[in-house]
Amino acid sequence: MMDERERLIVALDVPSFEEAEKIVKTLGDEVIFYKVGLQLYTSAGPQVIKYLKELGKKVFLDLKLHDIPNTVAETVSVASSYNVDMMTIHTFGGFEMMEVAQKRAWKPDGNQVILLGVTILTSLDQAFLNDFLGVDRNLKDEILQLASLAKSAGLSGVVASPNEVRDIKLQCGEEFIVVTPGIRPEGYDSMDHARSASPKEAIIMGADYIVVGRPIVQSDDPLKSAREIQEKIRNGLSQRP
């Protein structure tokens, strides 16, 4: 059974290894799972992954890969060799890209990396889908289509906003993992996330994992903030239908 603390993924959205290290030390045993995104990975590279794994932490490598199938597959293979636990590729890369990437998502110990498809970024809305991409479809319907495509390609789950979790679970099954970014505690500015929710709301809606960055990382007391969010997660789990 999953340790409830694993459901909180703290986004290390900081520019240097030193800053990431400081946050991890501050949070101690309260946080098990960390997200390493483009900014930190560009700055620190595999060093930060090695550091986290040596501490017994889980790593979500969020690079949102989107390229030709072979390039993405080879990149997934290299990242998997670092023993990351979870990583992302874009569903817009298409079925073939996702399928070949999934086949390369294996750790050295023989365990599979949780490979997730990014659907529509939480910073985007219906107007972007219609006006910029020229897609004449409801935003939720488009996300459900992308989630189904990801499942057909063999992916373990998707990244989507809390608003779509229930529908994705109904369509793709309860075992299909949904990771939700754009999580903001009550009273916290949603900032650049157009589709956000509180930690408790996201868990009640069925999210398997929630990603929280600035509300913890930029807090005056990161450990206190993390503990409060963990409590919200526990409350949300107790109120699930």
Of the pLDDT bands very low, low, confident and very high (cuts 50, 70, 90), residue 193 is: very low
Provide the CA 38 distance to its chain's centre, in angstroms: 13
Residues that are catalytic: 64
Q: Which CATH code fits 4-238?
A: 3.20.20.70
177-189 pLDDT, tens per residue? 999 997 888 765 5
86, 107 contact by CB (below 8 A): no
pTM of the model: 0.92
195-239 pLDDT, tens per residue? 558 899 999 999 999 999 999 999 999 999 999 999 999 999 999
178, 158 contact by CB (below 8 A): yes
139-178 pLDDT, tens per residue? 888 899 999 999 999 999 999 988 899 999 999 999 999 9
Q: What is the pLDDT of residue 201?
A: 92
102-121 pLDDT, tens per residue? 999 999 999 999 999 998 77
Amino acid of residue 125: D
Q: What is the pLDDT of residue 191?
A: 54
123-145 pLDDT, tens per residue? 766 677 676 667 777 788 889 99
Which residues, at least 6 apart from 169, have a Cβ–Cβ distance to it below 8 Å?
A: 176, 178, 206
9, 34 contact by CB (below 8 A): yes
How is residue 106 annotated by DSSP?
Answer: B
Q: Provide the phi-psi class of 202: left if phi over 0, else alpha when psi is between -120 and 50, else beta.
A: alpha
